Every structure is written in C-alpha cells, then in structure tokens.
Amino acid sequence: MTRKWCFVPKCTNTSRTAPHKIFITVPKDIKKKKLWFAAARRAISEVSEKSTLYCCEDHFNLEYDMANYMEYKLSNVRARIKEDVVPHLFITMQKETMSEPEEIIASTSGIIHKREAACQTTKLHFRKKKLRMYTGIPLNYLELIKILENKTNLKKQYIYLILYKIKSNDSFAKIGDFFGTSKSNACRIFSKGVHTLAEYMKKLIFWPSKKTIQINLPIQFRLSFSRVQSIIDCLEIEIQKPTAALQQSLSWSDYKKCNTLKYLISATPDGLINFISCGYGGRISDSALLEDCGYLEVLPENCAVMADRGFKQIEGLLNKKNCTLVRPPSVSSGKKMTAEEVVLQNALLASGFILNVL
C-alpha cells in the first residue's frame, strides 16, 4: 500500500505514523481542490496536478462533516466528506482580520468620529481532540458550541475564549495573546459574554426526578444508600480583596485565609451537578448558607443527603422535610471501616473531586 501523507502544512500525520487515522482524498475537481488548498493555507502550485493528495481526519469533525458517517462506522466503505465541507480544524494559528466593536476616538481637530477598529488577530483553531482540555467540553458535545452560537449570537471565538477563561483562569494578558487580541479586549469579551452564556448554560443544571436519580444510582449505593438524592459540599473561590471594610470582613474565609466567595454545590450520586447556589461572602458558615440559598426548597421530601463535617446542625433543617443526613464515618475512632463506611467515604471524596474540577 502506498504511504499517504496529510497535505496540510505542518501536519505530520502519514498512514505510517498514524495508521488508525482516516485519510480523505483531496478532491480532483479543480474548483473544489482550490477551496481545500485555500482552507489549508497552502499554495496549489506547490503540487503536481496529477498526484493524489490526502487530508487526515484531524482536520474534520467526521461525525458532522462526513456524508456517510453511519455507513462508514457500520461497514467498510470509503469515507466521503460532504460536498460543501473543506478541512477546517488546524493546530496552527492563522492570521485573520477580525473587526472589533466600533470605537470612538477623538481626532486631533477635536471632532469625534467613529472608526472601525480592526485589529490583526489570530483565528484560533482548537485541535478537536483537545477541545475538552481547552474548554471543558467533551468532543461529543461539540454541537453545544454551535447551539450556543445560535442562541446567544456570540461569535464562536468569543464562546471559546469565555469557556477557556473559566476552565483555565489564565490572566487576560495571556488569554489575549493566545487568542491574538489585546488584554483589555479579552477582558471585555469575557465580562460582556459570560452572563449571556450563563443564561443558556444554567439550564443544564437541573434536579432530575427522584425516580431518575434512583434508576441511575451507582451499584455501591444501592444496598445501604438508595435514598440518597444529593451529595453536597461548599466550594470557595478566592477573590480580590474588596476595598470596603464591611465587604472585606464578610468575604474573609477563616478556612482559606483569604477573601472568598462561597457556593453550595450538589451532585447526584452518579455525578450530575443538580444545584448551585448563588455566591455568598466566604465568612458564612456552610450550614447558614444551606439554610438561606434555596436548596431546601428544591430538595425532595423523604430522601437522604450526604454531607461532610463542615455542615453542622443541619440535621434539624433536613428533618423538617423528612430527610435524613448521611455523614462520613469518624476517622478518629481508629476502628476499621465497614464496607458501608468505605462507600460513603469514597462517595464524599468523589463529590469533593467533582466540585474541585468545577
């Protein structure tokens, strides 16, 4: 078999180095071929007219870009790309002019006029396999970005930038560099867009029905913890020290030794985040936050809640709803944990982990 090379500049995939990748034949039709070369930023004159060229699967989102994806998955037919699709995922950054919002600048004569402030910026192409690493969105939910783009009217680049900031919390200076724009513009895109994005994404946080949670209980829970509907923990995020003394004191966290905002987060036993409170000053106790944040209103009656030791005296609050509290075993007793206690310990550790990755 002849070796296939990917025709995209800087892509090093060949059928030998990446034998499991799909190599798609670059169209022979000159019109289409030109489009593919333009997309890959490669001069068509570089290659002989007759040679057969290939493009590796890394530059497509096969599930959406292929005309015969299902057929291909089920049988051994040749992969066909849809008519109007050209390679569009590249690891390299490509210079492109992206216009910024109109800026008003004062000219020397004192007349204020508008200028379309165009800035040389880099269009960012995520290597599709790293989508999760950059944005926290798994590849099979790529469609979500498209939906958000349509619903929010935010540019795809902006959505990536916002998700990237949330995921990495890099400084705006760094993010600006990464996305080929200025620090202040990156900051503006984020602070303007994050609320719009939140409006739509918060719909993904919901409390499934009691029955659904029970059906999806992990095996380890089924014997002794089948009533558990929610595992709760508090998450604290460090904030800049507020200037006002009162706010300073309200947000001071004794536990973290810095100013924080505190959130109550609940996950179902199978790991779905089903409740996030609004932010409270870090000084509030876990129990007071729980009582105030509306969690008790959405908690179904007659169930069990898992929580760690931070939540003091919440048993009474839960009992009002006929709910019970399940706590981790005390480590101090020095006794060997029973199987039940191990499950509990692990569940709390896992929920703590889920909350921390958040």
Q: Which residues bind Zn ion (CB under 5 A)?
A: 6, 8, 11, 13, 56, 58
Of 55 and 137, the one with the shorter C-beta distance to Zn ion is 55
Which one-letter amino acid corresponds to residue 320?
K
Q: Report, in Å, the least distance between residue 31 CB and Zn ion.
A: 22
Sign of CA dihedral 204, 210, 216, 217: positive
Of 18 and 144, the one with the shorter C-beta distance to Zn ion is 18
Q: Report, in Å, the least distance between residue 41 CB and Zn ion.
A: 13
Sign of CA dihedral 324, 325, 331, 336: positive
Q: Report, in Å, the least distance between residue 96 CB and Zn ion.
A: 20
Of 56 and 314, the one with the shorter C-beta distance to Zn ion is 56
Residue 47 is given by DSSP the state S
3-state secondary structure of 67: coil
Measured CA distances, 353 to 218, 231, 357 (Å): 17, 12, 6
The DSSP line for 318-335 is HHTTT-EEE-PPPSTT-P
Of 23 and 280, the one with the shorter C-beta distance to Zn ion is 23
Distance CA 313, CA 200 (A): 35
Measured CA distances, 334 to 329, 341, 357 (Å): 11, 13, 31
Distance CA 160, CA 145 (A): 8
**327 phi-psi bin (left φ>0, alpha ψ -120 to 50, beta other):** beta
Q: Report, in Å, the least distance between residue 235 CB and Zn ion.
A: 40
Distance CA 311, CA 234 (A): 9
Of 17 and 171, the one with the shorter C-beta distance to Zn ion is 17
Question: For residue 71, what is the enclosing H or E element?
Answer: helix 69-74
Of 53 and 162, the one with the shorter C-beta distance to Zn ion is 53
Structure tokens given for 320: 């009002």
3-state secondary structure of 289: helix
Of 56 and 228, the one with the shorter C-beta distance to Zn ion is 56
Q: Report, in Å, the least distance between residue 131 CB and Zn ion.
A: 17
Q: Report, in Å, the least distance between residue 132 CB and Zn ion.
A: 20
Q: Report, in Å, the least distance between residue 47 CB and Zn ion.
A: 15
